[in-house]
Chains A and B, each alone.
Chain A
Amino acid sequence: MTGLILKDIYTMLKQTKLLLLFIVVIGFLQDDFILTYGICYASMLPITVLGYDERAKWNKLADMLPYTTNELVGSKYILGALSVGAAAFIMVCIKWLHTLTGKAAFSPNYWVVLLLTVCTAFLLLSVNLPFMFWIGVERGRLLFVIFVVAVLMFAVTALDHLEFIKTQTSLSPLILAAPAATAIILLISFQLSKIAYKHS
């Protein structure tokens, strides 16, 4: 599978350089919102690569190579994980540089925000990829936007009616559950993507 990941890295090398620059710049801004944005943006890189693959009809060739569907689909998830991991790592490194100069400090809140941001990035990846494998990048993006808007509208309505959320004083159980829930959603997404890939 390393051949597939290497191909993806070569394909997005230009985008990677831009992303690195983007992450470094926003890393120095030290703003939680921008940190979230940078890491979530990294989770979209596999979609960019899928777009290039689609244009080259790479899958026609890839299907003929000695790879299993698990590897062909899984490589995009690994690429997503690598991108998100690298973006988060760079953010932390920059934050650490700031601590050396005394301009910032690692507060517990920082790690919570980082953890939840990484989980959010993986959730985006999990929702995105099955759509992309199913109907292609162009239509998949459209469907993804519709899906996210629908989910957000539903969530906002639901939260208005869930009194216990409003009275919740501590978010710690939610924080603990987030990585486990993300892992489960990633697994489900991977299985859906495999089905979508086989039927695309």
Chain B
Amino acid sequence: MNAIEMKHVSKAYRSFSLNDVSLSLPTGCIMGLIGENGAGKSTTISLLMNTVKRDSGEILILGKDNQSADFHQVKEDIGIVLDEAYFPEVLHAKNVNQIMKRTYRNWQEDIFFNYIRQFQLSERKPFKEYSRGMKMKLAIATALSHQPKLLILDEATSGLDPIIRDEIIEIFNDFTREEDHSVLISSHIISDLEKISDYIAYLHQGKLLFCEEKDRLLEEYGILQVSNTDISAIPQEAILGRKDGKYSSSLCVRRSQISQAFDLEPAGIEEIMLFLAKQEV
């Protein structure tokens, strides 16, 4: 079963539209959702949680249509962290525990306070006095403390220092050790996603350019530095994107369609993303 299934989902606003997005996150996997600012990542997450109504298409979350009347029950199994924590400023961690205890059926106080201690958060400090990093840690602790099966994280690690980010990435990784646990994580920090994702979905200007297994992407694409005079020897269909210089060009190419005579450098996710974005403009 897929934890998330989007089929031909579209949503149009006045100045932006998300067009015909189809993606599947298999249960037990981590999917990284990448894209530039305004590409549609947060809209996609809002559509998944049905806080924004889609114009067309179908969305199944943990096997349930997200527009069904009892979808709020499915939300019991979803841990969510948005780009900000959005708790009222007067609350502190103990208040959050009391509120969430009465919100989620499976709320586990001991797990919540373990995270609070692990993240070195004060239990009594008002939310407004937290730094951005502390706020996000509180949101992450909340999302992880009600036995969710699916974690949806929208820029959850932004604003955190590299050490705690690494620690949190490890927590997300641990989370998927249970075979029915899945994670969808959108982030600008592609190095984090590269570390943990099984799948990468790339949104660009409201279109899904690819949704592939990360390892396949890394195997399939390579970077080729070639002089402008030799560029004609490269089959056009092999070129995914290019950056032209005065005397030479950088090409992102499909390895399978390129002669082995060429010396290809490995392509990282960020490079593939940049090449594709350039090509699409």
Contact = CB atoms under 8 A, between A and B. Distances in A.
Contacts of B65: none
A67 B100 CA distance: 12
Given A3-B102, A61-B82, A61-B86, A11 B91 contact: yes
Interface in A48-69: 52-53, 55-58, 60-61, 63-68
A106 interface: no
Given A10-B95, A11-B88, A64 B103 contact: no
Interface of A: 2-4, 6-7, 10-11, 13-14, 52-53, 55-58, 60-61, 63-68
Contacts of A61: 80, 82, 85-87
Contacts of B163: none
A52 B88 contact: yes
A64 to B, nearest CB: 5
Q: Nearest 9 pairs between A and B by C-beta?
A: A3-B102, A3-B103, A66-B75, A61-B86, A63-B51, A56-B88, A2-B102, A64-B80, A3-B99
A13 B73 contact: no
Contacts of B72: 66-68
B161 interface: no
A3 B80 contact: no
B84 interface: yes
B76 to A, nearest CB: 5
Give the secondary structure class of B's interface.
Answer: loop
Given A6-B98, A10-B95, A60-B82, A65 B87 contact: no
Interface in B188-246: none
A162 B33 CA distance: 67
B75 A64 contact: yes
Contacts of A58: 86-88
B103 A67 contact: yes
